[in-house]
Structure 1
Amino acid sequence: MQESTKTEAYFQVLDQGAEKIRSIEDNLYIEALGTMGEMLFQRDFTPAGEDLRLELEQSAASLPKEMHREEVRRAIQLAVLKGMKEAVQPHHAMTPDAVALFMGYLTNLLLKKEEGKPVLLDPAVGSGNLMTAVLNQLSEDAHFVAAEPDETLLKLAFMNANLQEHEVDLFHQDSVASPLLDHADAVVCDLPAGYYPDDETAAGFKVKAKDEKTYVHHLLIERSIRHVKEGGFLILLVPNQLFQSDQSAGLQEMIREQAHIYAVLQLPETMFKTRSSGKSMLILRKKKDGIIPPSQALLAEMPSFTKEAALADMMKRISGWIEENVHG
């Protein structure tokens, strides 16, 4: 069975099961999807009731015997995207697939000389699509620790990791207010943008805004630098205007004190609905004695991900730059 057909078959099982559970429990599709995913992982459909149990068991039995993790991830992604169209919330936006894969590619390049099993951190994991896309791109096993304050999204991240058989630790918490772990090898995150509501918690950060609510993405960048080990990397998806915003002075000062900017890679405008919603990949490295940062950060505009030749050329340039400035 071809990959696309396997992905489609897996999606059909998830989708049809979620629709049936939703009709019985009268809840949102995205909530029913989390329930269906957990039952599929456990191969126990008894919570759905006797009538539906037999139907779901037969459906699950029709799945291909062997599937690659990426085939499973793409099937889950299709189902999650369907659910998000029904219940749209700003913080529910999913990282574009090509971007998630490219962030995995960058993470693999940056960590290739790490000894032992690297520990990765995502302080705002969402539905887990970026987390599992990165894990699927790594040439060596890694362990992810991730947090998410939205219970529905966390349940989807749990399903994502389980169905792809990844080793992760997931926490239901606000990563600005609650620390996760120290000395992570790298942080990989699609940072949520907007204002953080709790001024009292934000007051403990160097990036705290003086006369208004602080940007949550600024707080999460500072929190992430705290959690990564000295010499560790942060691969972050950030707003294009990160360093031009009204609160950027405090952010830039904090970064200068604690880290080095290695790269800013602006994503194609065509990936986003409006110019103002455009994003870039920001690579930071926490300071460490003996590490000499590059004389100049890598600044580039990424070509369209559909232009294979131009993208391959850019990836070759980035790979060469990382080899020279990180591993050289």
Structure 2
Amino acid sequence: MAQISAVEKLFTVIDNTATILKEELACTYLEAVAETGENLFQNTILQEELSELSKKRIEKEYTHVKLDQYAVEEIRKSYQLAALKGMKEATQANHEMTPDAISIFMGYLVSKFTEGWKGFSIFDPAVGTANLLTTVLNQNQSKEIDAFGIDVDDLLIKVAYVSANLQRHSIQFYNQDSLQPLYIDPMDVVVSDLPVGYYPNDLGAASFELHAKKGHSYAHHLFIEQSLKYTKEGGYLFFLVPNHLFTSEYAKELNSFLKEHAYIQGMIQLPLTLFKNEKYAKSIFMIQKKGPNVKAPKQALLANLPKLSNQTAMAGIIKQIDDWFKQEKY
């Protein structure tokens, strides 16, 4: 019989207890995932309204796991699987999680650009469940990092802070519209899977350089402008963007804005196999905010990522990236 992995074991406990809590509390599965995650972190059952039978069933499940015996990535993956299941049940369009392989690769890129740094500040203006942000933190554990996450969805923020607690990450979360004034200082690094679509608040959009001259503005354009506003001079920004970013309406305005405020470091197109539909395919877009001692790279890093299962092709891409860094950064 195949041995159950640590991730499967922890996920099973989260899943089973969340299912009990969902039925007892008459809430969504995603809300129940946050509730059971908080129980695991506090090492107690916090829901006083539960029946004695349900409490005993949940307690029995919790005896199967000891969190301190799990690696931080095992905790993240287990909790993420449960959150992903909850999102599939939910109907909100913004309940989308950055695929694991992409988050890990973005974490790798952040570590390359911050090589030699003792620490840095980082924020995600569309943090969601914090899967992308915590993956980046897990890949940069040798550095001292001040992390911040912002999201307009209060349930996703709750799922995010429970995830951060379980992984022992100190992240400050803000539940607000990220395109309103933010309560944070400028950051060294920004990482985000940008929400793609229209921003419905035309009055709020009017204060942005990249607002549409008529109708709704593109949210992803406004997020880029807002992120640059809250980035230190010389800071790096890593965005997951739609492949049509520079061919869609207002691309000309976006291009002009970026030329004025940032240097493009690179664009890495992700394999189409990662996306259900080619029109939703994305790339990792990397820029650096301009500053007095900041120079443009002689050549931007441009690459097409192969299928992540193709180890030979992936090794070739990693070498290409390493060579670029040797030439441009070191």
Shorter-chain TM-score tier: over 0.9
Q: Structure 1 residue 311: deviation in Å?
A: 0.8
Instruction: Give the Cα–Cα distance (whole angstroms) in 2 for the partners of residues 208 and 4 of structure 1.
Output: 51
- Is the 8 Å Cα contact of residues 22 and 29 (structure 1) preserved in structure 2? yes
Q: Which 5+ residue runs of structure 1 have no aligned equivalent?
A: none
Cα separation, partners in 2 of 1:284 and 1:3, compared to 1, 3 Å: farther
Instruction: Give the Cα–Cα distance (whole angstroms) in 1 for the partners of residues 93 and 317 of structure 2.
Output: 31
Query: 2:185 matched to 1:186?
Result: no
The structure with the largest helix share of the pair is 1
1:1-328 equivalent positions in 2, closer than 5 A: 5-48=5-48, 49=50, 50-64=52-66, 65-115=68-118, 117-138=119-140, 139-326=142-329, 328=330
Deviations along 1:1-32, one digit per CA (max 9) or x if unpaired, are x9961111110111011100100112211111
Give SS of 1:242's match: coil
Instruction: Give the Cα–Cα distance (whole angstroms) in 2 for the partners of residues 181 and 113 of structure 1.
Output: 25
- Is the 8 Å Cα contact of residues 192 and 216 (structure 1) preserved in structure 2? yes
Q: Structure 1 residue 300: deviation in Å?
A: 1.2
- Is the 8 Å Cα contact of residues 46 and 53 (structure 1) preserved in structure 2? no
Instruction: Choose 106-115 or 121-130, whichever is displaced more.
Output: 106-115
Deviations along 1:129-163, one digit per CA (max 9) or x if unpaired, are 10111111113231210101011111111111011
Q: Structure 1 residue 180: deviation in Å?
A: 3.7
Instruction: Give the Cα–Cα distance (whole angstroms) in 1 for the partners of residues 63 and 260 of structure 2.
Output: 56
Deviations along 1:149-185, one digit per CA (max 9) or x if unpaired, are 0111111111110110001000001110131423211
AA of the residue aligned to 2:35: T
Cα separation, partners in 2 of 1:3 and 1:234, compared to 1, 3 Å: farther
Identical aligned pairs, as a percentage?
A: 39
Q: Structure 1 residue 229: deviation in Å?
A: 0.5
Structure 1: 4+ residue segments shifted above 4 A: none
Q: CA RMSD of the aligned region, Å?
A: 1.6
State the TM-score, normalized to the length of structure 1.
0.95
Instruction: Give the Cα–Cα distance (whole angstroms) in 2 for the partners of residues 77 and 211 of structure 1.
Output: 39
- Is the 8 Å Cα contact of residues 128 and 160 (structure 1) preserved in structure 2? yes
Instruction: Give the Cα–Cα distance (whole angstroms) in 1 for the partners of residues 327 and 10 of structure 2.
Output: 42
Deviations along 1:13-70, one digit per CA (max 9) or x if unpaired, are 1101110010011221111111111111111204153432333223212114511011
Deviations along 1:196-225, one digit per CA (max 9) or x if unpaired, are 011111111111110121111100100100
AA of the residue aligned to 1:42: Q
Cα separation, partners in 2 of 1:280 and 1:19, compared to 1, 3 Å: same
Instruction: Give the Cα–Cα distance (whole angstroms) in 2 for the partners of residues 86 and 244 of structure 1.
Output: 34
Cα separation, partners in 2 of 1:150 and 1:103, compared to 1, 3 Å: same
AA of the residue aligned to 1:294: P
Instruction: Give the Cα–Cα distance (whole angstroms) in 2 for the partners of residues 156 and 108 of structure 1.
Output: 26
State the TM-score, normalized to the length of structure 2.
0.95
AA of the residue aligned to 2:325: I
Give SS of 1:78's match: helix
Instruction: Choose 72-81 or 135-144, whichever is displaced more.
Output: 135-144
- Is the 8 Å Cα contact of residues 192 and 240 (structure 2) preserved in structure 1? yes
- Is the 8 Å Cα contact of residues 237 and 282 (structure 1) preserved in structure 2? yes
Q: Which 5+ residue runs of structure 2 have no aligned equivalent?
A: none
Instruction: Choose 49-58 or 234-243, whichever is displaced more.
Output: 49-58
Instruction: Give the Cα–Cα distance (whole angstroms) in 1 for the partners of residues 111 and 4 of structure 2.
Output: 25
Q: How many residues align?
A: 325
